[in-house]
Chains A and B, each alone.
Chain A
Amino acid sequence: MNNYTFHWYQAFRAVPQMLGGAVVTLEVALLSMILGIGFAVLIAVGRGSQRAAIRGLATTWVEVARNTPALFQIYMAHFGLGAFGLHLSPFTALLAGITFNNAGYLAETFRGALRAIPPTQARAARSLGMGPVRAFTLIILPQMFRISFLPMTNQMVWAILMTSLGIVVGMNTDLAGVTQALNVKTFRTFEFFALAAIIYYLAAKTVTFGARLLAARLFRY
C-alpha cells in the first residue's frame, strides 16, 4: 500500500448528489433511445428505398455510426459542428452523439428484423384494404419491435454507459460529470468512481430487469 488512506466518509456524503446525476444519465439515455428508435426506423426503411440519394444517406449514417468511436461522435457533435457555428450545449451534444450512435446500430437490428418478417404479411395486409403506411405501422412495425426487443434492451444499456462520455464536452450534470467534478475538487478518485460504478451497475440492472418484466407482459401469448 502506498500509504493511501481511504476517505469513504467524504464520498458517502456525496451520494445524494451522485444519485441526482444518475437521474440525468437515465434521462439522456432514455431520450436518446426514443429519438434513436425513430431515426432507426426511418433509416431501416430508407435503406430499401428506390432513390439512390436516400439509400446513400441511410447507408452512410449506419456505416459512420458503427465504424467510429462513440467518443469521437460526441466530440464531433460539440466541436465539429461548432466549427459551422452550430452550437450544441453539452447536454444536446451528448444527446445528439448517442442518438446518432443508437440509430446506426438499431437500424441494422431493424433491417435484420424486417427481413425475418415474411413478405406475405405485408401482402395480406394490403389485400385486406390497408394502405402502405397503415400496413407498415400496424402489421410490420409491431412485429419488428417484438423481434428486436432484446437487442433494443442491450442498446439501452449501452446508451446508459455511453452517457459517461459527456465529460469530454463539458457535461457536468450527469453521473460521470458529477463524479468527475467531485474528483477534481478532492482527488479522491477511487472512492468517488467506485460509488459511481455501483450506481451505473444498478441502473443497468434496473433497465434489464424492467425490460424483462415488460417483455413478459407484452409478449404473453
Chain B
Amino acid sequence: MKTTYLAAASLVAVLTAQTAQADKLDDIIASGTLRCAVVLDFPPMGSRDADNNPIGFDVDYCNDLATALGVTAEIVETPFPDRIPALVSDRADVGVASTSDTLERAKTIGFSIPYFAFQMVVLTREDAGINDFDGQKGHTVGSVAGTYEGLQLEDNVKAWGAGEFRPYQNQADVFLALSQGQIDATVVTSTVASSIIATGQYPGFVMKGDAPYDIDYVSLIGLRNEYGFLNYLDLFVNQQVRTGRYQELYDKWIGGTAPTLSINGVYR
C-alpha cells in the first residue's frame, strides 16, 4: 500500500516536473506552429508578391526551420522596430528578421550564431550630388529607426555636425522618402540596395560606394532565457550552411557567392 502511494506520488512529481520544464522548443513542437517574425518591406530578405503574400530569403529560411521542427510556419509581419517587442510579447517564437547581434540588444534577447552577413552601401538618387559615403555630409539623410546602419548613420550625422538624420519606422518609408526627395541618401545593406534598384520601381536610385561600417552579421533571435531553443537555432544555422541550403537560398534570392559567416581568429 505504502509503495503504491509512494509510486503514485513520485509519478505525480515526475509529471509536474516535466510540465514545469516544458520550454519554448517543446511548446513549439506541441503547438504544431512556428511563428516567425519577419520584416516584409526589406527585399530580397522579405517582401510581398502581387497577391500580397510574404516571400523572400527570410520567409524561406523560416519555412526550412519549421520543416526541421516538423511544424507549419506562420509569418508574423513586424516592422523593424517591432521585431524584439514581438518576441518579448510572445507574438512570435523566433525572429528571422536580419537582426544585427549588438551587445545592447543581447541584454534583452538571445541571438543564434549569424545566419547572414550584410555589407552596407550608400543608396542615393542620381540628382542628389552624392558620390561617396562622406558626400552625405550636410545632406538630409535617413534610415530605419534602431537598425544597425540607422544607429551608426545617426552617429555619423552628429559627428559631421551638419545635415540632418531622420529615423523612419520601416524600410518602405525610407525608400519613399528618398524617392520623393525628403532625404538625399540612406545607408542600407547591399542586397537590399541592389534588389530595390533591380525592381525598377525607383528610376533615380544609385549605389555610391560602401559605408565604412563593419560587416553586419545578423542572427536569428529568440527569448534570452530559452537556451534549449537557442541551441537548436545554432545547430540549424550550422546545418543550413553545411548542407548547401544557405548557398541555394542565396542563389535564389541574391545570386553569387554567399558571404562567409565565420570570423577569423575568434569563436562565437
Contact = CB atoms under 8 A, between A and B. Distances in A.
Question: Per the CB under 8 Å rule, do A and B touch in the complex?
Answer: yes
Instruction: Name the interface size band of chain A.
Output: 20 to 34
A3 B151 contact: no
Contact of B81 (A87, A89, A169, A183): A183
A92 B180 CA distance: 16
Interface in B186-233: 223, 225
Given A79-B176, A83-B180, A85-B180, A186 B166 contact: no
A170 B154 CA distance: 13
Contacts of B81: 180, 183-184
Nearest to B166: A170
A90 B173 CA distance: 13
A90 B109 contact: no
A169 B90 CA distance: 28
Interface string B81-101: 100110010100000000000
A82 interface: yes
Contacts of A85: 180-181
Contact of A187 (B105, B164, B166, B182): B105
A176 to B, nearest CB: 11
Given A170-B166, A187-B108, A181 B85 contact: no
B177 interface: yes
A187 B106 CA distance: 10
B180 A87 contact: yes
B204 to A, nearest CB: 13
Contacts of A169: 168
Given A186-B108, A189-B85, A82 B169 contact: no
B145 interface: yes
A187 B88 contact: yes
Contacts of B109: 187
A168 B169 contact: yes
A31 to B, nearest CB: 20
B182 A78 contact: yes
A87 B181 contact: yes
Contact of A184 (B145, B176, B181): B145
A180 B145 contact: yes
Interface residues of B, number: 28
Contact of B151 (A170, A177, A185): A185
Contacts of A181: 145-146, 167
Nearest to A4: B88
A196 interface: no
B104 interface: yes
A98 B169 CA distance: 20
Contact of B84 (A167, A172, A187): A187
A82 B108 contact: no
B173 A79 contact: yes
Contact of B104 (A4, A89, A185): A185
Interface in A180-202: 180-181, 183-189
Contacts of A188: 108
B90 to A, nearest CB: 8
Contacts of B177: 79, 82, 170
B114 interface: no
B267 to A, nearest CB: 26
Contact of B180 (A2, A82, A186): A82
B142 interface: yes
B91 to A, nearest CB: 13
6 contacts: A4-B88, A183-B146, A185-B104, A186-B104, A187-B85, A187-B108
Interface of B: 81, 84-85, 88, 90, 104-105, 107-109, 142, 145-146, 151, 164-169, 173, 176-177, 180-182, 223, 225
Interface of A: 2-4, 7, 78-79, 82-83, 85, 87, 89-90, 167-170, 172, 177, 180-181, 183-189
Closest 3 CB pairs of A and B: A184-B146, A82-B180, A170-B166
Given A2-B223, A185-B146, 14 more contacts: A2-B90, A3-B225, A4-B88, A7-B107, A79-B177, A82-B182, A89-B164, A168-B173, A183-B81, A184-B81, A184-B167, A185-B151, A187-B84, A187-B88
